[in-house]
């Protein structure tokens, strides 16, 4: 049952589109109508199918220019990767080394003091102390340099994140406008879709309701009706339920779907 | 606490899922950011998110703010006095001019 039900699933998914946010979806090109309707059953929801049908008939949404602008802006954004790992690690290492040497200096100092208190030989301890103090001083310099480098990297990352934030906002806006466009286009062809439902097998105009979201009829019939409404030159490939429906109909596939070429694909169910 | 901020739709979804699945580590949730508990487990979850989404995930460590430790009395007093001002439209710089209240630029130049 690969074909059946996939359209309903698609319609459900489309409602969730605001929630489903993979980064790539936002910059993806508007699909060619034939990519949406060229093979039935389709994964696309009814609104997308009808929008594709509308576009194939030369309709454009009122927000089309705005969508183009957003896409141009998005295309112009260049973002470098942000990775402060090395800078953070260096800070951790140099700070750790400083702490270790501080402890060593303190221990040697205590040692030297104790030796002097009992008039014991302290020269060697004092030499060690001097060496450790020099090491500590070098380590502190290194730690400061590491802190400063991280600070600079963080400032750079903050600028980078401003751009990422801008890109995210644009992508969100892009997705909203795309959805608005799709809704507008689908509504524009809805009367034609309702009429087409009266013709295609399994179609029922009374199931159409007032708008795409109200459609509660058969999903395969809806896709066939969407293809009938559409006007594109490509081949329409029918599989599974879509193929069976059209084959069982008295009318020829080309007359039903009003397309130049209809091909019945290998049925994935058999 | 740990502040986790996301910068892409995918990272934002990842954070949302993480918050849903691990409610107990989440102290506060915002749109595309969240505050996590200060535990190693919370840090581990934040790191996992960053491993998945790289530069689109920012992790910062926050500390509680105590105005009695962080700033001097004149700053606290100026904040209270300004909130209590009679002319609501007066910007702070004008409000502070010619008074004992600290000058905004001076404050800007001083680190906490």
What is the DSSP track for A92-115?
HHHHHHHHHHHHHHHHHHHHHHHH
Q: Is residue A109 part of a domain?
A: yes
Q: Are residues B43 and B13 in the same domain?
A: yes
- Which chain A residues contact residue B12 at CB under 8 A? 21, 168
Same domain, B17 and B37: yes
Domain co-membership, B71 together with B54 = no
Label residue B91 exposed, middle or buried (CB < 10 Å: 0-12, 13-18, 19+): exposed
Question: Would residue A153 count as lying in a domain?
Answer: yes
**Higher pLDDT pick, A181 / A30:** A181
**3-state secondary structure (DSSP) of residue B97:** coil
Confidence class for position B24, pLDDT limits 50, 70, 90: very high
Domain contains A244: yes
Question: Averaged over A61-75, what is the pLDDT?
Answer: 94
Query: For residue A20, is pLDDT > 60?
Result: no
Last residue of a domain, one of A108, A143, A177: A177
> Are B6 and B56 contained in the same domain?
yes
The answer to whether residues B53 and B75 belong to one domain is no
In a domain, A260, yes or no: yes
User: Is A155 among the domain residues?
Assistant: yes
Q: Is the pLDDT of residue A246 over 90?
A: no
> Are A103 and A34 part of one and the same domain?
no
Chain B nearest-CA distance from A80, in A, is: 9
φ/ψ of A17, rounded to 5, equals -55, -30
Give the residue-averaged pLDDT of B58-87.
Answer: 94
Tell me whether residue A28 is in a domain: yes
Residue A134 sits in the same domain as residue A212: no
Tell me, yes or no, whether B19 and B55 share the same domain: yes
Q: What is the pLDDT of residue A268?
A: 53
The mean-pLDDT minimum among A40-49, B49-58, B75-84 falls in A40-49
Q: For the residues A108-135, what does the mean pLDDT come to?
A: 92
% of residues, chain A, pLDDT over 70: 87
Q: Measured between beta carbons, which residues in chain A are less than 8 angstroms from residue B5?
A: 161
Instruction: Let me know whether B91 and B76 are in one domain.
Output: yes
If asked whether residues B6 and B42 sit together in one domain, one would say yes
Domain that holds residue A48: 6-59+189-264
According to DSSP, the β-strands at B26-29 and B33-36 are antiparallel
CB-closest option in B7, B9, B54 to A21? B9
* Nearest residue of B to residue A79, measured between CA atoms: B55
Q: Residue A82 and residue B55: Cβ atoms within 8 Å?
A: yes
**Residue A75 belongs to some domain of the structure:** no
Dist CA A167 CA A174 (whole Å): 10
**Is A23 close to B10, i.e. CB distance below 8 A?**
yes
Quick one: pLDDT at residue A242?
Answer: 87
Residue A72 inside a domain? The answer is: no
**Average pLDDT for residues B91-106, to the nearest whole number?**
94
Residues B45 and B14 in one domain: yes
Other CB atoms within a 10 A radius of the CB of residue A147 amount to 15
What was the pLDDT predicted at A260?
76
Same domain, B7 and B53: yes
Residue A18 has what pLDDT?
37
Q: How many domains does chain B have?
A: 2
B28: domain range?
2-61
Total domains, chain A? 2
Which distant-in-sequence residues (6+ apart) come within 8 Å of B29 by Cβ? Answer: B19, B35
A168:B58 CB<8 A: no
Q: Are B6 and B55 members of one domain? A: yes
Mean per-residue pLDDT for A73-82? 92
Beta carbons of A60 and A105 less than 8 angstroms apart? no
Q: Which position has the higher pLDDT, A112 or A1?
A: A112
Contact across the interface for B10 and A21, Cβ inside 8 Å:
yes
Q: Distance, in angstroms, between A49 CA and closest chain B CA?
A: 25
Q: Are residues B7 and B57 in the same domain?
A: yes
The ipTM of this complex is 0.82
Between A255 and A105, the more confident residue is: A105
> Can you give the pLDDT at residue A9?
36
């Amino acid at each position: 049952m690969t074909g059946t039900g996939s359209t309903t699933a698609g319609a459900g998914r489309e409602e969730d589109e605001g929630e489903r946010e993979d980064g790539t979806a936002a910059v993806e090109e508007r699909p060619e109508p034939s990519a949406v309707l060229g093979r039935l059953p389709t994964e696309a929801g009814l609104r997308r199918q009808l929008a594709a049908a509308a576009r194939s008939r030369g309709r454009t949404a009122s927000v089309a220019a705005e969508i183009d602008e957003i896409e141009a802006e998005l295309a112009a954004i260049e973002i470098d990767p942000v990775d402060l790992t090395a800078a953070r690690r260096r800070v951790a290492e140099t700070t750790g080394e400083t702490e270790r040497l501080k402890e060593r200096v303190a221990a040697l100092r205590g040692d030297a003091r104790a030796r002097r208190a009992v008039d014991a030989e302290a020269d060697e301890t004092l030499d060690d102390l001097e060496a450790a103090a020099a090491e500590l001083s070098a380590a502190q310099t290194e730690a400061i340099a590491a802190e400063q480098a991280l600070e600079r990297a963080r400032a750079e990352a903050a600028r980078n994140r401003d751009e990422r934030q801008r890109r995210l906002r644009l992508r969100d806006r892009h997705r909203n406008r795309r959805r608005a466009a799709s809704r507008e286009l689908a509504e524009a062809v809805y009367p034609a879709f309702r009429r087409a439902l009266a013709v295609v097998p399994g179609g029922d105009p009374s199931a159409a309701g007032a708008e795409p979201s109200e459609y509660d009829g058969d999903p395969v019939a809806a896709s066939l009706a969407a293809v009938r409404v559409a006007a594109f030159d490509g081949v329409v490939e029918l599989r599974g339920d879509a193929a069976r429906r059209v084959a069982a109909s008295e009318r020829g596939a080309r007359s039903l779907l009003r397309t130049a070429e209809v091909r019945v694909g290998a049925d994935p169910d058999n | 606490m740990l502040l986790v901020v996301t910068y892409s739709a995918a990272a934002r979804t990842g954070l949302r899922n993480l918050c849903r699945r691990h409610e107990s580590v989440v102290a506060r949730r915002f749109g595309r950011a969240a505050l996590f508990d200060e535990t190693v487990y919370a840090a581990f979850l934040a790191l996992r998110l960053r491993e998945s989404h790289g530069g689109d995930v920012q992790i910062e460590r926050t500390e509680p703010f105590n105005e009695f430790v962080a700033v001097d009395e004149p700053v606290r007093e100026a904040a209270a006095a300004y909130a209590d001002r009679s002319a609501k439209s007066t910007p702070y710089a004008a409000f502070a001019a010619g008074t004992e209240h600290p000058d905004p630029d001076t404050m800007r130049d001083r680190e906490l």
